[in-house]
Amino acid sequence: MKTPEFFAIALAAAVAARKLFFEGDLDSAGDVADDKVLKSVVVELGDGQKLPARYGPHPPRGALPTDFFWSSHWEIPADYPTGSLGYKVIVTMMDDTTQTWEPFKRAPSQLTVIAGEPEMKN
Q: What is the pTM of this model?
A: 0.71
Query: Mean pLDDT, to the nearest integer, of 63-86?
Result: 85
The CATH number of 6-113 is 2.60.40
Higher pLDDT: 62 or 10? It is 62
pLDDT of residue 20 exceeding 50: no
Q: Is the dihedral of CA 12, 21, 55, 110 positive or negative?
A: negative
Q: Report which DSSP code applies to 104.
A: -
- pLDDT for the residue 29: 59
